[in-house]
Amino acid sequence: MDKDLLIVPKDFPELKNDTFLRAARCEEVEHVPVWCMRQAGRYLPEFRESRAGKDFFETCRSPEACCELTLQPLRRFPFDASIIFSDILVVPQALGMDVQMCPGKGPIFPEPLKEPEDLQRLRPKVDVDAELGYVFKAITLTRHKLEGKVPLLGFTGAPWTLMSYMIEGGGSTTHSKAKRWLYRYPEASHKLLKQLTDVIVEYLLGQVTAGAQALQVFESHTGCLGPAEFKEFSLPYLRDIARRVKDKLKESGLENVPMIVFAKDGHYGLEELSESHYDVVGLDWTVDPRSARERTGGKVSLQGNMDPCALYATKERISEIVKKMVEGFGTRGYIANLGHGVYPDMDPEAVGAFVDAVHTHSRQLLNRK
C-alpha cells in the first residue's frame, strides 16, 4: 500500500442501504440499523457445512471462503451491515507468531512470549500488504459480491487484547501472564503495544483501500484491567489508532469512514472512549442505555447492547427486550447489536426475531415523532 496515498477502487456497486453509516454519523434514519457481532458463525448450519473439515486459518486466508461466509447471514436476515469474516489473531501471525485454532479449545500459540527478550522473535517491520493481503482481497471481493446491499465493515483486535493472547498463549480467565508483563516489564509492554499499534494502523488503512466502509476495533480484554492500567496500557493506543487512521483518511478524502471502538467490560472508560476520535462506542450488556447516553454526552453514536443470552428466550420475549433497549437508547445515533457475539448453539430463528424486532420497534418510535 502506498503510505502517502489511499486509492479506493471507484467501480464498486452503489450502496443501496446506508442506514448504518448515517446512524454512525448521528444523522436521521428511517429505522435503527442492526447487525450482530459474529453474525457469520457456527450458529448457521450453512456455516458449519462450509467449514467442515477445513483448517480455520486456511479459511481465513481464502478470499473466496471469507466472502461466502460473510454473505451467508445476509441471505437469511435483513441486517443493515456486514462484517468481513476473518480473525483478530491474523495480526500476531503477521508479526511472525505461529497461531493455531484447535477445535474445542480455541486459539493456541505454541510458542508464546514469556520474557521481554522474546520480542526479538517478532518481525521488526511488517509488510502489511504481503502478510495480510489475503484479507484485503477478501474485502474487495465481498464488497463487489454484496452488490451495494449493505455497507461492509473491516476490523482488528486492539493492541492490549492481542498482546494478552500473544503472552498467555491462548484464551485466559485471569490474564495473569500478560498482566505480569504490565507490572514487571512496563517498558517492554509499551514497546510491544506500540509495535502492534503501528501494524494495526497500516492494516486498517489497507482495509479501507480494499473497500471497507467502516472499521471496528475490538478491545475484548478490557475487563481484566483496572482503571489505572486501562488508562496506561489500553486507552492511549486506542486513541492513537483512531487519530492516525482518521488523519490519513482525511488526507485521502475519505473522512466519512466511521470507526467503532468496542472495549468489553470497560465501563470505567466510557467517558474517555467517547473523546478518543471514534465515531461510535460499542457497549456490552452490563451498561444501562440511558446512563451511557448521559456519560457520553452525545459526543458519539452508541452501539449495542442486548445480552446475547436473551436470544435463548421466546420470540415474544426477545421483542419485549428489544423494545425496552431501543427506547432506552433512542433512535438517533444508535446502532442495535448484541453486547457480544452470537453463540454457536443459538437458534438462527432467534437472530431473525432480534433483527425484525429492532426494525419494527424503531420504526414505531420514529413514526410517533
CA–CA gap between residue 349 and residue 159 (Å, rounded): 35
Tell me if residue 42 is catalytic: yes
Pick the catalytic residue: 2, 76, 127, 165?
A: 165
Contacts of residue 248, Cβ cutoff 8 Å, sequence gap at least 6: 6, 201, 205
Contact indicator for 139, 154 with CB cutoff of 8 Å: yes
Which residue among 25, 42, 239, 293 is the active-site one? 42
Reply yes or no on whether 51 is catalytic: yes
Q: Could you tell me where the DSSP H helices lie in 77-216? A: 90-94, 128-145, 159-168, 176-184, 186-210
In whole angstroms, give the CA distance from residue 32 to residue 328. 13
Q: Provide the sign of the torsion angle of the four alpha carbons 185, 272, 19, 255, taken in this order.
A: negative
Sheet of 82-83, strand order: 82-83, 152-157, 214-219, 259-263, 280-282, 301-306, 334-338
98 as an active site residue: the answer is no
Whether 165 is catalytic is yes
Catalytic annotation, pick one of 51, 76, 243, 293:
51
User: Among 25, 87, 312, 356, which one carries the catalytic annotation?
Assistant: 87
Exposed, middle or buried, 323 (CB in 10 Å: 0-12/13-18/19+)? middle
Q: Per the residue annotation, which of 38, 61, 143, 244 is the catalytic one?
A: 38
Strand partners, 152: 82
Region for residue 330 given its phi and psi (left: phi exceeds 0; alpha: psi -120 to 50; beta: otherwise)? left
Give Cα 314 to chain centroid, integer Å. Answer: 28
DSSP string, 78-99: --S-EE----TTHHHHHTT---
87 is catalytic: yes
Cell numbers 478470499 correspond to: 63
Which residues, including other chains, have CB under 8 Å from residue 235's CB and lie 6 or more apart? Answer: 269, 272, 273, 276
DSSP three-state, residue 34: strand
Integer Cα distance of 39 and 74 in angstroms: 9
Active-site residues: which are they?
Answer: 38, 42, 51, 87, 165
